[in-house]
Chains A and B, each alone.
Chain A
Amino acid sequence: MPRLIAAALAFFLLCPGEALAMHISEGVLPPGWAALWFVVAAPFVFRGIRQINRRKDIDPSYIPLLGIFGAAVFVFSCFPIPVPVAGSTAHPAGTGMSAIFLGPFASVVVAFISLLLQALFLAHGGLTTLGGNTVSMGIIGSFAGYGAFRTGRLLRFNLFWCGFAAGVAADLLTYLSTSFEMAIALHGDQSFWSVLGQIYLAFMPTQIPLSLLEGAVTGGILVYVNKHRPDILRRLKVLGKEVS
């Protein structure tokens, strides 16, 4: 069965569609706002680089995990998934999952690199909006996912449901922050809250089903890793002190 799933995934990945996704496109944010989001993202990226350097010394399997979840965030965040109930396509963020395994700051670095590659080569997002997209998908997505996972652990939820909450929170809050960045920069004479509400609600028919999918994938991967390599979760303190 895993081979069949792998074959199906490979087939899906080898049949790409156009770059249709949620990143804020080139030129949408005015220069001042675009610069501000770079300034906000920079300290998180630098701290993330330090987190990666520190963690790779603690656990030799950290670099392979960085490879797995880094590539997963890149793939998740650029391949459009059709949502039949909405009649449109979008993609998950993947940063909730990477934040759990790699740490939230390291996950920001992974998101930044993925977004940079997508902006450079896949006409996806933009170089001027890279800061804004890093804040929404990298910072908000990672910390929302990590926070939801930790909250779930504190409330003693089953591991799957902790991961599920992380995936859902990362996805929905990424889109909320994308809406926020657009609304605050572009609302003009209109009410900021009204514009924010309109944009966020417009995302919802596509994102609610996708966030549930992202939650299930995140929860499923956590359960898989806990079953096959629980030592990794312990070493990286993913399960905290209350190891299940």
Chain B
Amino acid sequence: MTSLKRGLLASVFLLLLFSPVLAEEEAPKWPGVDETVVGKYAKELGREARDPYINTDQGDLLLFLFALAGTAGGFVIGYYWHKVFVAGKKDLEPRD
């Protein structure tokens, strides 16, 4: 393993280790365009967004679900990517 990779892995590990501590800090919020545009104009034009029918925006539940969705999405992409571009490519190569 090269020193660059070792350094990168160590940085990621430290970042993950201290991320809860960093998260306690007052992080500047970057509003999304749903807030700054969709919500703002809907309110100005007389219609406000209401809570979703299944409101998962409760405490850290939404963050957990986003992590789950990201992980599941990442695995699906990775699995099929391997099937098409690694295993699939090998199947196409002529055998000696």
**Residues of A in contact with B (beta carbons under 8 Å apart):** 4, 6-7, 9-11, 13-30, 61, 64-65, 67-68, 70-72, 74-75, 78-80, 82, 87-90, 117, 119-123, 126-127, 178, 182, 186-188, 190, 195, 198-199, 202-203, 206-207, 225, 228-229, 231-232
Question: What residues of chain B lie closer than 8 Å to A232, measured between beta carbons?
Answer: 84
Query: Smallest CB-CB separation from A67: which chain B residue?
Result: B80
List 5 A-B pairs, Cβ < 8 Å.
A16-B69, A20-B31, A25-B50, A75-B73, A202-B33
Question: What residues of chain B lie closer than 8 Å to A79, measured between beta carbons?
Answer: 66, 70
Name B5-56 residues within 8 Å CB distance of A: 8, 12, 19, 30-42, 45-56
Given the contacts A10-B74, A19-B66, A26 and B52 also touching, CB distance less than 8 Å: yes
Question: What residues of chain B lie closer than 8 Å to A65, measured between beta carbons?
Answer: 80, 84
**Residues of B in contact with A (beta carbons under 8 Å apart):** 8, 12, 19, 30-42, 45-57, 62-63, 65-67, 69-74, 76-81, 83-85, 88-89, 92
Q: How far does the alpha carbon of A88 sit from the alpha carbon of B40 in the complex, in Å?
A: 14
Query: Smallest CB-CB separation from B92: which chain A residue?
Result: A231
Q: How far does the alpha carbon of A123 sit from the alpha carbon of B56 in the complex, in Å?
A: 6
Question: What residues of chain A lie closer than 8 Å to B77, measured between beta carbons?
Answer: 67-68, 71-72, 75
Question: What residues of chain A lie closer than 8 Å to B19, measured between beta carbons?
Answer: 15
Question: What residues of chain A lie closer than 8 Å to B79, measured between beta carbons?
Answer: 67
Question: Which residue, B40, B62, B77, B83, has most C-beta atoms of chain A within 10 A?
Answer: B77
Q: Nearest Cβ in chain A — how far from B7, in angstroms?
A: 12
Query: Smallest CB-CB separation from B12: which chain A residue?
Result: A11
Query: Smallest CB-CB separation from A9: which chain B residue?
Result: B74
